[in-house]
Amino acid sequence: MSPTVSIIVLTYNNLHYTCQCLESIINQTNEPDYELIIVDNASEDSTPQYLEKFANLHPHTTVVLNSKNEGFARGNNQAAARAHGEFLVFINNDTVVTPGWLVGLLKYLDDLTVGMVGPVTNNSGNETRIKVDYSDLDGMESFAKEYTDAHVGQSFEIPMLPLLCVALRRNTWEDVGPLDEQFGMGMFEDDDYSLRLKKKGYKLLCAEDVFIHHWGSAGFSVVGFEQYWLQYLENLKRLELKWGIEWRPHRYRQELLDEQLLIMWEEKMDLALQVINLNSKLEGYNRIIFDIFRMKRFLQRNFYPPGSTREKILFPIFRLLNNFQKKARDFPLRAIRRSKSLLNVRQNLRTRKLLISELDQILSEHQTAKEVVVIVPTIPWNTPLFQRPHQIALALSRQGCLVFFCESSAIETISEFSQIDKNLYVFLNGPYDILQNIPSPVVFTLAYNKQYLKYFNKPRVVYEYIDDLSVLLGDMNTKQRNHNELVRTADLVLATAGNLFQEIESIRPDVLMNPNAVDYEYIRKSILETQEPPDEILEFVKNGIPVIGYYGALAQWFDYSLIIEASQALPNYLFLLIGPNYDDSLFKSGVLKLKNVIWLDAIPYHELPRYLKYFDVATIPFVLNDVTHATSPLKLFEYMSAQKPIITTAMKECKKYSGVLVAEDSRDFIDKIEAALQLRGDESYLHSIERVAIENSWDVRVKEILDHLPSADESLIRKKNQG
C-alpha cells in the first residue's frame, strides 16, 4: 500500500540540524501515512553514517547518498522521482516541525486551485516570517501552539513560497515539472517555481495555523559567505534572464519591516560596513538607556513616591528623561536608516567619480579607434546562449572599434568596467549618463531598450530589427511605438530577415539587410582542438551511433512532434538536444520519454564546438509561423563552419542558402536524415557549405555596417532635416 505523503529532506553537512529535523518529523507526525526520502549531497561530516543508521531504525525511510553535491534542485528532483505518495512535501534539514504540521498543510490542498502551501516561520525572506518571542526550542513549541490556535483556518495568498517547507499534490508536480536545475547549488529556485505555478493558474497559500522553526541558511553556512554571495549573484541573473524580469526583494510583514532593514544582503551589502562602524555607538547608547532607567528608579524610590508633592514638582524633569530614553531606544533604527541614506549618496558619488576617471582613461588609450560603439543593455555578457549582441561586439572590436557592452543587473551596488578583449569592455550597472562624455558614439539599440538613448551626446543610432516584436521583452504598445520612431529616425536601420526587411523597406529605403552570421575562425579552431567526445556522448560516438544534433533554446517554436516521429522511426540513432528549457515546453512535449533522445541543459558557448564536432547531422527543427519565418538562425552558419550536413524545416531564412536540406514534413525530415548521413563524406558538399559560412561571417556583417554608417557630421545634418 502506497503512503499518502512523501516527505523529502535534502542534507549537506550540519548534522546537528539534520538530527533535530528528522527527530521532530518522527515525533510530531502521527498522520497521515508517510514515507521519508532523504538525499544527502555528499556531506563531508558524519551525516551519511547517521542517515544509514536512521534508515535502519525507521523502515519507511529511503536514503540516497550522492557521490557529489548535486545542488538543491537536482537533489530534491532525485527524491521526487523516487516518491510514491499522493502528496509531496519538501522540507529543509535546518527546520524543526511542530505538532499537527503535516495535516495542517494538507487540508489546504483539498482546494484544487491551490498549487502549493507553506507554513509561517520565524526565519524566511518574505511574509511567511512572523514575529516570535521565544529564544530557544524549549519555548518554541508553546509559542507555536499559542499562535496556531489563534489562527485556526486562516491563510492568505502569497506571491512566493520559500521552499524551506512546502506541500503540493503529486499531479501538480507532474503538471508544472521538476525544479529547474540550472540554479546549481541553490537560491531562487523558490522564486522560479512560484512563478511557474502561477503561470499555470495555481494559487500559493501561506497557512497561518501551521508553524515550523527555521534556523536559516544552514546549507550555505558551510560553504563560506563569499561563495554564497557569488552564487546569489549568478542565480539572480539566471532568474532575471529566464523570466525577463528585474527581481526585487520580497516584503516582510508590517511589524517586521524594521528587521528587514537589518538584513543587509537583501538590499545593499555595503550597508553592512556602515552598521559595523555603528556597533560601538549602539553599545554606548544601550548603556545610556540602562543608566537612565536606573536613575529613574533611584529618584522615584528616594525622592518622589507616587502621589507625593515632590512627584508633581519633578514630573516635568521625569517627562524629559522619558523622552530622552525613547529617543535613545529609537537611535539604532534611525542611525541605520540615516547611514543607509548617507551611504547611498557617498557610494554613488565615489563610484561616479571613479567611473568617469576610468572612462576617460579608456578613451585616452583608444584615441585611434575607428569608432566608439556602445551596445545598450540587452542580455548579460556571461550567458550560455551567446547571441547577436555578443558577436557584434566582438566583431566590431576586431575591426578596430572601441566597444562598450552595457549590462544591467538588480544588484545596484556593482558598477564597473571590465575588459573582455583588447578593444572590448563590459560596463555593468551604469550610471549610464557618464557615457555622455563620449562624443557622437555609435549606439546599437532594439525596440525594447530605446530609453537608454537619452544618456548619449549626439549619438549615431543603429536600430536592429532582429525579430518579430512579439518575441522581444516588454510591453507590446511601447515596443511598437519605439519601433515606429526608430525606423524613422535612426541613422542606420538593420533587418535580420527578409520578412522584416520587406516590412520597412517602403519607410526606410536605405534599410540594410544584415542577417545573423558566424565567428568562423573561432568555430574551426575549437573543432580542430577538440580531441575526445564529451562524456555525455562518449559511448554513443565510440559505438558508431549517428548523432542527430540540435543546440539552442528549447521553446514553443521548437517542433517536438517532429523529433518524436523521427526518433521513433530511427531508434538506432541518437537525437541530442542541447539548450535551456526556455518556457517548460520541453517537459510537456513528452520527447524526453524516448530512449534515444538525450537532453543537455544550456552549455556555455565556448564549450559548444566540443559537442558540435561529433554531430553527424545538424538540425533546426522549428515549427513554421510568422515568428520563425522572421528568424535568422545564428546556429545555421555555425553548423556550416563545422562542415555538418544541415536539415531544417521550411523557414524562409534557411531556404535561401545552398547546401541546406529543407524538410517539408515529418516523413521528408526522416528521409533527409538518411540523405544527410550520406553527405558526411562528400568533400564537395562539405566545402560548399563551408564557403557559405565564410561568406557569412560576423566580420563581413560588421564591415557592411561600418560602410553604411553615416559620419557624425552626416548624422547631424540628417537630424536637422528631420527637425
Reported as a single tens digit per residue, the pLDDT across 569-611 is 999 999 999 998 888 899 899 999 999 999 998 888 888 999 9
The Cα-based distances of 715 to 504, 663, 721 in angstroms read 20, 45, 10
Local structure of 300: helix, strand or coil:
helix
| Beta-sheet strands, E only, within 360-423 | 372-375, 402-407, 416-421
Q: Is the pTM of this model over 0.85?
A: no
The residues with which 95 forms a beta bridge, in sequence order, are: 214
CA 470 to the chain's CA centroid: 22
Scanning the structure block, which residue is given the C-alpha cell 545596484?
412
DSSP 644: -
Spatial separation of the C-alpha atoms in residues 116 and 113, rounded to whole Å: 9
Instruction: Give the DSSP H or E segment for 433.
Output: none
Cα radius of gyration (the chain):
31
Burial-class residue 475 by CB neighbours within 10 Å (0-12, 13-18, 19+): exposed
Contact 97, 24 (CB under 8 A): yes
Per-residue pLDDT at 414 = 60
Provide the pLDDT for residue 356.
87
Query: Alpha helix (H) ranges present in 399-537?
Result: 476-489, 498-505, 520-529
Q: For the chain (length 723 residues), average pLDDT per consecutive 10?
A: 88 91 93 94 92 93 93 93 95 94 96 96 91 86 93 94 95 94 85 94 96 73 51 81 82 68 43 43 52 58 60 60 55 48 49 81 93 93 83 96 87 70 90 89 95 92 92 86 95 94 94 94 92 92 96 92 96 95 88 93 87 96 90 89 96 91 95 95 94 94 94 72 63
Whole-angstrom distance, CA of residue 270 vs CA of residue 338:
14
Which residues fall within 8 angstroms of residue 66, CB to CB, at 6 or more apart? Answer: 39, 40, 41, 42, 75, 78
The residue type at 648: T
Residue type, 707: D
Burial of 101 (0-12, 13-18, 19+ CB in 10 A): buried
| Alpha-carbon 44 to chain mean position | 29
Strand partners, 426: 405, 418
Q: The dihedral of CA 63, 67, 69, 70: what is its sign?
A: negative
Q: How far apart are CA 645 and CA 659, in angstroms?
A: 8
Q: How far apart are CA 29 and CA 471, in angstroms?
A: 49
Q: What pLDDT is attached to residue 365?
A: 92
Instruction: Kindly give the interhelix angle for 47-57 and 15-28, rounded to the nearest 10 degrees.
Output: 20
Distances, alpha carbon 554 to alpha carbons 264, 587, 627, 629, in Å: 37, 10, 15, 17
Rounded alpha-carbon distances, angstroms, from residue 611 to 249, 540, 560, 636? 39, 12, 21, 15
Non-local CB neighbours of 446 within 8 Å, separated by 6+ positions: 378, 463, 464, 466, 472
Write down the pLDDT at residue 280: 43
C-alpha cell at 692: 557559405
State how far Cα 646 lies from the chain centre. 32
- Residues 521 and 637: their CA atoms lie apart, in Å, by 12
Beta carbons within 8 Å of 187's beta carbon, 6+ residues apart? 72, 231, 232, 235, 236
* Four-residue CA torsion sign, 273, 277, 282, 285: negative
Q: In the structure grid, which three cell numbers stand for residue 112, read together?
A: 484544487
9 Cα distance to chain centroid:
24
Q: Given its phi and psi angles, is residue 111 left (phi above 0), alpha (psi -120 to 50 degrees) or beta?
A: beta
CB count in 10 Å sphere of residue 720:
8
